[in-house]
Structure 1
Amino acid sequence: MFALAALLLSSMNASAARSDLILGMVLEPPHLDPTAGAAAAIDEIVYANIFEGLTRIGPNGETEPALASSWEISPDQKSYVFHLHQGVKFHDGTAFDAEDVKFSLDRARATDSTNAQKGLFAVIDQVEIIDPATVKVTLKYPSGDFLYNMGWGDAVIVAPESAAGNKEKPVGTGPFKFQNWAKGSQIVLVGNPGYWGSKPALDKATFRFIPDPAASTAALLAGDVQAFPSFPAPEAVSQFQADPRFQVVIGTTEGETILAENNARPPFDNPKVRQAIAHAIDRKAVIDGAMFGFGTPIGSFFPPHHPAYVDLTGERKYDPELAKKLLAEAGYPKGFKTTLKLPPPTYARRGGEIIAAQLRAVGIDAQIIPVEWAQWLDQVFKGRDYDLTIVSHTEPNDLNIFARDDYYFNYRNPAFKALIAQIEATTDDAKRNALYQRAQKILSDDAPVAFLLQFPKLGIWDAKLQGLWKNYPIQANDLTAVKWTD
């Protein structure tokens, strides 16, 4: 009898898979409301875990149903009728219904909206409640990206009862609930027992902030974290590839990494200066030195995995002598002095040192100014108080940021802006791709920024862990399919 009991206990222990996970992240988010901030670190924690939208973007970039179970599109492609899941509740117990959808979409597109991607909602003309489980959204014009855009983190559905507090205590409809935030250290999520959909295998997930690359490596090796979905130390990848305790998964991201230039500030308002900077940069040296060979050179603001991608790296190839010639033609035969603000990620700090040396070789003396992430968001992104900076733009399908008059590049090109409007109103894929290619060429010619590389996704996690995304079609660590195996 005791032997049988011992056997049963042993069997139970063997089948009880681990249900908690500690993930490493480089950057701590400034807050946790994806509808009110541009930092990728927000979505990396809350997207599909705490918050959900009408649609969601899947691991391969596909648009999937989420809080909307289905939808119908009118023949003129200007009206969408969304059928909502019923019986859904927010984490505070309030019911989700069509009122919340209307509130969220109207809030995002309002005149006083603080949504970082307010442009996503400009196409919406009207949001109507048909009944508690049905919403009709009418567009100003057809938009081939509308369903996809409703899957962004910026388009998640929030409740009027809790929206104001989402920065510190986020309340969504997702499979995980916010538990606590130890500032400077970690954020803890726990399973939502009342979740309306399929319950994830994990009961608890801790996001631990480790900005130092060496510390990230040490934390993984010691088991202090079990996964680093976006590992910041490419120099250590080979070490983990040789260790059977880990799996190394190298994927792609939507992260166009650039040397941004303030086009409203002399001398960067001169196209020849911007073109000179592009020719002064050796992308391969940046990728090898800052990323240890991981990353793909780009010549415009478009991901190489997209079917409309055009390789324009040859248009602005590394040519220091041409860079000097262009500077002289622009009125700067002896170069000039400037500043280069670098946020914390290693690609920016390491890449900045390499690029500063390359700029010095053609006469541009760029003083490096390290800034923390909150400073970068405040000074550069919001305040536009900078000359040069390095950052990776991880949002999907975001070529249109160069058409925004109030964006931190301060780039103005009416022809490009008109082309983006044409793209957004085009639903035929072949025609859209042709327009995308024209847009890429305009940016390559104008060089409003220097295009460096498409950022890789270096994922390293425990060999027994399954379900983390290989690629980053959107800035997210979706935990809904993550589980431990024996």
Structure 2
Amino acid sequence: MGKTIRVAGLAMALVLGLAGVVYAAPSEIRIGVALEPPVLDPTAGAAEAIDIVVYQNVFEGLTQIDQNGAVQPDLAESWTISADGLTYTFKLQADVTFHDGTSFDADDVKYSFDRIKAPDSLNAHKEFFADIESVTVVDPLTVEIKLAKPSGQFLFDIGRGDAVIVAPESSANNATDPIGTGPFSFVRWDKGSRVVLERYEPYWGKKAALSKATYVFISDTAAMTNALLAGDIDGTNNFSAEALDVFKADPRFKILVGTTEGETLLSTNNKKPPFDNLKVRQAMAHAIDRKALIDGVTYGYGVPIGSHFAPHHPYYVDLTNTYPYDPELSKALLAEAGYPDGFSATLKLPPVAYARIGGQIIASQFAAIGIKLELINVEWAQWLEDVYANHDFDLTIVSHVEPFDIGNYANPNYYFGYDNPDFQALIETLNGTTDEVKRKVLAIEAQTILAQDAVNGYLFELPQIGVWNAKIEGQWQNAPIEGVVLKDVHWVD
């Protein structure tokens, strides 16, 4: 004799055994996330929100990035590298299937990389894979990739969401009906509401403990707080710091504070006057009070940065004093640049708290030196179109969450509009260097150039603050790459 009860909003079975009454741990989870992805294909969009849902859950790559930021095998069980560093031979996992039942083999790997490099590719970061010279199928479980030049980042880059393996039978529909090889298969996407995943029972690797995962889109902090307290969701990976107090003394919850790869920037259109003037950019840099910004936006959880690099990375150098807070010097630099009375500009803000709140603080700080900012709130899709794609902006605030993405500054067509041939040559050398000591020296030089050129306003490293049901284990505390990885998440009694 038994019955069904509700605990933390999830159904749990009541089972009678020899030892008495045993409650089975829940096998479903509902996760609140701030942004809805524009598509569900990580190889066809730049938005972090895509990987939050599907990376290592629905889709997998030859390699994967673990929670410490290290490269691990995934669909490739092993690999060898030629002495000249140009040829990688991957041995693939056997008995892998896509979620539609089709088999995975070396042909799918070749198709996936050929698709990334195709002229009509929608991949947001084709530059990561530009040095792939050829992909050759050796046999069904062996594939050879040849590079035009050595790359110290290659194994990491093919572990990104941009390089997950897709099948020719289903790739055309992955934007709305994603089919991968991961531990969870896609069930449905209720636009504006949620994405539902279910455990893929024929999965080739370790079976996930969760039978079902639902990503619920909640952009408002108050609504996220209420959903957590009511048990409508079981956790969120990235919560706003200003509302944490309600959970700190509540034993039903635990708070996980970790690091991210999110360099939060006052992104600047370097091709557009007056921002093409170095003195103007230096004036803005001196006008930013990072401490006030970090206290106001992250309640002290953010880490100040002086260039585009994560503070936890071994290559990091502290450049926060390159342009220390000095409003009077800002005014002098503006006068030297021909703007003694300042100027007016727009600041486009996507729908995340750090941008909207940060925009108000930056506007106040800039007003003190004569720069008058018009704050324009935009939805994420509009930001991607106006700012990222069409470069129609003066200033914006956004966190760049991709790991080791300093190379974006070597692309003059990237939305920053930064065109420095010396920096481009430096990044080319860095990318082709495999010696770790030399790579660190080059990376520090690259950070220093960006800081001195004040390409953007370098504000702080975005923290990851998770709020979870206290009975959930296995979630990542840190975010070395975009994603809420589910494979080790489980409930405990």
Partner of 1:170: 178
8 Å CA contact retained: 2:260, 2:481: yes
Partner of 1:236: 243
Question: TM-score, normalised to structure 1's length?
Answer: 0.97
Q: Does 1:216 align with 2:224?
A: yes
Q: Aligned with 1:279: secondary structure? A: helix
Q: Paired residues, what number?
A: 482
Q: Does 1:260 align with 2:267?
A: yes
Q: Aligned with 2:321: secondary structure? A: helix
Partner of 1:271: 278
Q: Does 1:320 align with 2:303?
A: no
* 2: CA distance, partners of 1:375 / 1:18: 39
Partner of 1:300: 307
Distance 1:279 1:106, change over 3 A: same
Partner of 1:38: 46
User: 1:186-201 counterparts in 2 under 5 A?
Assistant: 186-201=194-209
Partner of 1:431: 438
Return the offset for 1:239.
2.5
Q: Does 1:280 align with 2:303?
A: no
Q: Does 1:339 align with 2:346?
A: yes
RMSD between superposed Cα atoms in Å: 1.4
Q: Aligned with 2:169: secondary structure? A: coil
User: 1:275-424 counterparts in 2 under 5 A?
Assistant: 275-424=282-431
Return the offset for 1:238.
2.8
8 Å CA contact retained: 2:15, 2:22: no
Query: Amino acid of the residue matched to residue 187 of structure 1?
Result: V
Deviations 1:3-27 (A, max 9, x none): xxx9844859625221000000000
Query: Amino acid of the residue matched to residue 58 of structure 2?
Result: I
Query: Amino acid of the residue matched to residue 155 of structure 1?
Result: A
Partner of 2:145: 137
Deviations 1:371-396 (A, max 9, x none): 00000001100011000000000001
Deviations 1:388-427 (A, max 9, x none): 0000000011010111121000100011111100110000
Query: Amino acid of the residue matched to residue 16 of structure 1?
Result: A
Return the offset for 1:44.
0.3
Q: Does 1:21 align with 2:29?
A: yes
* 2: CA distance, partners of 1:110 / 1:147: 21
Q: Aligned with 2:348: secondary structure? A: strand
* 2: CA distance, partners of 1:386 / 1:138: 40
* 2: CA distance, partners of 1:323 / 1:10: 76
Partner of 1:448: 455
Partner of 1:471: 478
Q: Aligned with 2:387: secondary structure? A: helix
Query: Amino acid of the residue matched to residue 45 of structure 2?
Result: G
Return the offset for 1:218.
1.1
* 2: CA distance, partners of 1:107 / 1:313: 41
* 1: CA distance, partners of 2:15 / 2:386: 63
* 1: CA distance, partners of 2:333 / 2:34: 38
Query: Amino acid of the residue matched to residue 121 of structure 2?
Result: S
Partner of 2:5: none
Query: Amino acid of the residue matched to residue 421 of structure 2?
Result: P
Q: Aligned with 1:53: secondary structure? A: coil
* 1: CA distance, partners of 2:18 / 2:27: 18
Q: Aligned with 2:204: secondary structure? A: coil
Deviations 1:301-344 (A, max 9, x none): 00110111111101111111111111111111111111000000
Deviations 1:351-387 (A, max 9, x none): 0000011111101111000000000001100011000
Query: Amino acid of the residue matched to residue 307 of structure 1?
Result: P
* 2: CA distance, partners of 1:96 / 1:298: 43
Q: Does 1:78 align with 2:101?
A: no
* 2: CA distance, partners of 1:83 / 1:353: 52
Percentage of pairs with the same residue:
57
Question: TM-score, normalised to structure 2's length?
Answer: 0.96
Query: Amino acid of the residue matched to residue 336 of structure 2?
Result: E
* 1: CA distance, partners of 2:149 / 2:299: 45
- Equivalent residue for 1:125, pick from 133, 136, 146: 133
* 1: CA distance, partners of 2:356 / 2:348: 9
Partner of 2:211: 203
8 Å CA contact retained: 2:117, 2:126: yes
Deviations 1:43-75 (A, max 9, x none): 000000000000000011010000000000101
Query: Amino acid of the residue matched to residue 444 of structure 1?
Result: A
8 Å CA contact retained: 2:15, 2:21: no
Runs of 5+ unmatched residues, structure 2: 3-13
Q: Aligned with 1:230: secondary structure? A: coil
Q: Aligned with 1:253: secondary structure? A: coil
Partner of 1:114: 122
Q: Aligned with 2:462: secondary structure? A: strand
* 2: CA distance, partners of 1:7 / 1:121: 53
* 2: CA distance, partners of 1:75 / 1:325: 56
Q: Aligned with 2:264: secondary structure? A: strand
- Equivalent residue for 1:51, pick from 54, 59, 83: 59
Structure 1 residue runs of 4 or more that deviate by more than 3 Å after TM superposition = 6-13
* 1: CA distance, partners of 2:312 / 2:386: 32
8 Å CA contact retained: 2:60, 2:181: yes
Return the offset for 1:244.
1.1
* 1: CA distance, partners of 2:112 / 2:454: 36
Once the two structures are overlaid, the 10-residue window that deviates more, 14-23 or 154-163, is 14-23
Deviations 1:198-222 (A, max 9, x none): 1000000000011001111111111
Query: Amino acid of the residue matched to residue 202 of structure 1?
Result: L
8 Å CA contact retained: 2:349, 2:396: yes
